[in-house]
Structures are given as structure tokens and as C-alpha cells.
Amino acid sequence: MKYYIDRSDIIEEACHRMLKEMYMRAQPPVDIDDYIAKYKDGTFDKEKDRCYEWHYLPSAIQTQIVEDYLEAYNANDQMREQFKWLIDLFKNGGRRTVYKDIFNDGKEVRTSEETEKLPELIGEENAEKVYSLINDFLGFYRRNRDELSIRWTIMQAPTTNSNTVKEHWGQDFEVDDSVYKNNDDEWDYTYKDYYNGEINEDSWYTADKED
């Protein structure tokens, strides 16, 4: 038995909280933990009962929530951005820290100097081969399992097909996308908080804690 918390526990928590938030913001909203409890006690048929087809959440909102959780849990794959920065330094040069006796008194002073540009060192053609090889590696290798774990959670998210939800709850059930849009008619799940079918001033997680 494990008696400590590790990174996998944190990511698992992030996935659960993100899924919980999506269902709380879905139409109709629901606490996903209720479904999970039914799974555990055997009163919910995993094969026949498809809770993800009973609740609607626009794709644009799901994407925003995923991106926000990736940032909040520092789970973004930074490798691509880091290598873009490296390629820029290769192409345009940068600065590095050096220690020099600039006052000729035997004491080294920390300063900086420009770095060489890769095309100047190995030629433009060879430099382009290096950039291309790095981009190939970035396309074929993914190192951040944290990001993939969080992104894969969207497979269990509410449906983006409102017709499926209407079929389950009946044609009288209405879907209102306006609760997910700001005054400029842009998708923004933070603009209004949708909880238990009503727009409230408090966020869903605050309301959840008060119950």
C-alpha cells in the first residue's frame, strides 16, 4: 500500500475535478460523483447507461476547460515551446553569461556576450537540416504523459450533440448556449456560472461546497 502522494495522484485528481466541472456546467447539470457512486454499488449498468450522452456541453467550452486545467496543474507539454525558443537562438543568436577580468585587476566580473548564430558556424544549408530534424523529433515524440492523461479525459466528457440529449430527456428539454457566451457573443465558460439549471453569482464549486 502506498502511503505517499505522487505526481500520478495529482494528475488523477485533476482529471476527476475537470470532469466534475464539465458535468456541473453541462445541460442538464449533474454531479458526476452521483453516477460514479451508482457504478460502484452496481445500480448503474455501464453497458446500457451512457451518462455522457445525457448531458450537453459545447465543444468550445470543453476545450477551454481542458486548457485551463492543463495550465492550473502545470501539465502542459513545454518541450515544443522550449525547442522553438532554442531554434530561434540558433537562427538569431542570443546572449550567454561569461566572467571576464574587464578592469585588469585580476578580479573576474560577470557579464554577457553574444552567442554565435548556427548558420554562421555550419552554413545556412546545414543549419536548415538541423531545424528540420528538431521539428521531426517534435512531431514524433511526446514526452509529457500528464498532458495526455488530462486530454484523454475528454473522452468521458458530456456530449457536444444537443440532439442526443433532447432524445434522452424529451423534446421539451431546451438547450441554451447563451449561458456559455459573454456580451461579445464569444464562448466563455467563466462569464456565467451554470449550476443546477440556474445562473448563479457563485461558481459551481463554491455552491457545491456549501451544500
How far apart are the C-alpha atoms of 152 and 145, rounded to whole Å? 10
Nearest to 186 by CA among 85, 69, 61, 79: 61
DSSP letters spanning 32-51: HHHHHHHHHHT-S-TTT--G
Predicted pLDDT at 207: 40
Predicted pLDDT at 119: 94
Nine cell digits for residue 175:
438547450
* DSSP state at residue 187: B
Stretches where the chain sits below pLDDT 70 are 1, 46-48, 140-143, 194-211
pLDDT digits (tens, 9 = 90+) for 55-79: 999 999 999 999 999 999 988 877 7
Predicted pLDDT at 141: 63
Pinpoint the alpha helices (H) of 108-201.
118-122, 124-140, 145-152, 162-169
Predicted pLDDT at 46: 62
Chain-centroid distance, C-alpha 201: 25
Query: For residues 91 and 127, is the Cβ–Cβ distance under 8 A?
Result: yes
pTM for the complete prediction? Answer: 0.69
Predicted pLDDT at 206: 42
Predicted pLDDT at 200: 52
Predicted pLDDT at 208: 43
The upper half-sphere exposure of residue 209, i.e. CA atoms within 13 Å in the direction of its Cβ, equals: 4
Q: Give the residue extent of every domain in the chain.
A: 7-75+145-210, 79-140
Q: What are phi and psi of 189, to 5 degrees?
A: -70, -15
